[in-house]
């Protein structure tokens, strides 16, 4: 079982995010049209806020707000549409809860508007490779950033899923993202890494990354793992997809991530996964004490 280093990540409001003593749970709040759009914009905001409050009540440590789907084959969303989806919700959440809010975006303009609305963290699937201005915005606003490993775009990512040693190559590419962030003016302690399960990786790659995710500790940065409802989890149970019973395979992957040393797990079903994380953390504690 991987020893987990402790980190203190500074937030822009003066607070810190303490990582390593226990695993933090990041709740996913998707604001794509099939999530909270029925009933008009106002009702959509209210529904999104209520969903986030339920996550907080269930034990979430961070709420991750996203206005653009990045699943394989997803169509890009314009800057204006993404802003329309996320900013009113972030403003409402910031006024109602004290939990740190993150914005799942790779666009500098969206990150800046989200910072004005109250976000404390940027979660970038591109690892600072899509928008050259994003690192500058994050540095100027003193926001921590999660840099995820990705190759290509949503419509062609699997064309880039060729590796000799997937963990070594993902780690090297994440190291480049960290170096780019620091070169743009971010302090090293404001950068977290995510190996990007399911992104530009086939099922075999994703399982290997998950099994060996403790090796990303070599980067000297906190590790975020997002296994929730990913399609690669369907392979061992011989299903084409995870349309039913999606949380059981997710629970297994979350447990593996915690035992391997992940600092944060990013999930949809917060109530269920908080329980999974707490049990896995308890196992870690006894292993450490021994």
- Percent of the chain predicted with pLDDT > 90: 80
**One-letter-per-residue 3-state SS of the chain:** CCCCCCEEEECCCCCEEEECCCCEEEEEEECCHHHHCCCCHHHHHHHHHHHHHHHHHHCCCEEEEECCCCCCCCCCCCHHHHHHHHHHHHHHHHHHCCCCEEEECCCHHHHHHHHHHCCCEEEECCCCCCCCCHHHHHHHCCCCEEEECCCCCCCCHHHHCCCCCHHHHHHHHHHHHHHHHHHCCCCHHHEEEECCCCCCCCHHHHHHHHHCHHHHHHHCCCEEECCCCCHHHHCCCCCCCCCCCCHHHHHHHHHHHHHHCCCEEEECCHHHHHHHHHHHHHHHHHHHHC
Confidence at 233, pLDDT banded by 50, 70, 90: very high
User: Quick one: pLDDT at residue 44?
Assistant: 86
User: Quick one: pLDDT at residue 289?
Assistant: 54
More confident residue, 209 or 33: 209
Return all residues near 164 (Cβ < 8 A) that are at least 6 apart. none
Confidence at 244, pLDDT banded by 50, 70, 90: low
User: Quick one: pLDDT at residue 242?
Assistant: 62
Q: What is the mean pLDDT of the chain?
A: 92
- d(CA 224, CA 17) in angstroms, rounded, equals 13
- List the one residue out of 207, 149, 158, 202 whose CA is nearest residue 178: 149
pLDDT in tens, 42-99: 558 999 999 999 999 999 999 999 998 877 667 788 999 999 999 999 999 999 999 9
Residue 255 has pLDDT above 80, yes or no: yes
Residue 37 has pLDDT above 80, yes or no: no
| Strands across the sheet containing 62-66 | 191-194, 145-148, 121-124, 101-104, 62-66, 24-30, 264-267, 224-225
pLDDT in tens, 141-170: 999 999 999 999 888 898 899 999 999 999
User: Quick one: pLDDT at residue 238?
Assistant: 75
Catalytic positions are 230, 266
- Least confident span in 131-140, 190-199, 221-230, 235-244: 235-244
- 103-124: average pLDDT: 97
Residue 34 has pLDDT above 80, yes or no: no
For residues 198 and 231, is the Cβ–Cβ distance under 8 A? yes
- Least confident span in 197-211, 259-273, 275-289: 275-289
Domain over 7-289 is classified CATH 3.20.20.20: yes
């Amino acid at each position: 079982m991987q020893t987990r280093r402790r980190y203190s990540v500074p937030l822009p409001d003066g607070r810190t995010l303490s990582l390593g003593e226990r695993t933090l749970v990041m709740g996913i709040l998707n604001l794509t049209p099939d999530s909270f759009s029925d009933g008009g914009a106002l009702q959509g905001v209210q529904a999104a806020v209520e969903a986030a409050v339920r996550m907080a009540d269930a034990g979430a440590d961070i709420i991750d707000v996203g206005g653009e789907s990045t699943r394989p084959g997803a169509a890009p969303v314009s800057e204006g549409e993404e802003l329309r989806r996320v900013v009113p919700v972030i403003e409402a959440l910031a006024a109602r809860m004290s939990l740190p809010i993150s914005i799942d975006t790779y666009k500098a303009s969206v990150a800046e508007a989200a910072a004005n609305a109250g976000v404390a963290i940027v979660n970038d699937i591109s690892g600072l490779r899509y928008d050259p201005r994003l690192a500058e915005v994050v540095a100027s606003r003193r926001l921590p950033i999660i840099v995820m490993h990705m190759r290509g775009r949503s419509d062609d990512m699997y064309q880039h899923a060729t590796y000799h040693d997937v963990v070594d190559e993902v780690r090297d590419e994440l190291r480049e993202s960290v170096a780019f962030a620091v070169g743009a003016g971010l302090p090293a302690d404001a950068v977290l890494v995510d190996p990007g399960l399911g992104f530009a990786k086939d099922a075999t790659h994703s399982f290997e990354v998950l099994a060996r995710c403790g090796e990303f500790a070599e980067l000297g940065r906190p590790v975020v793992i997002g296994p929730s409802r990913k399609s690669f989890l369907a392979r061992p149970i011989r299903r084409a997809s995870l349309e039913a019973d999606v949380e059981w395979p997710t629970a297994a992957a979350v447990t593996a991530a915690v035992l391997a040393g992940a600092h944060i797990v990013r999930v949809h079903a917060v109530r269920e996964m908080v329980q999974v994380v707490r049990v896995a953390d308890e196992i870690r504690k006894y292993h450490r004490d021994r």
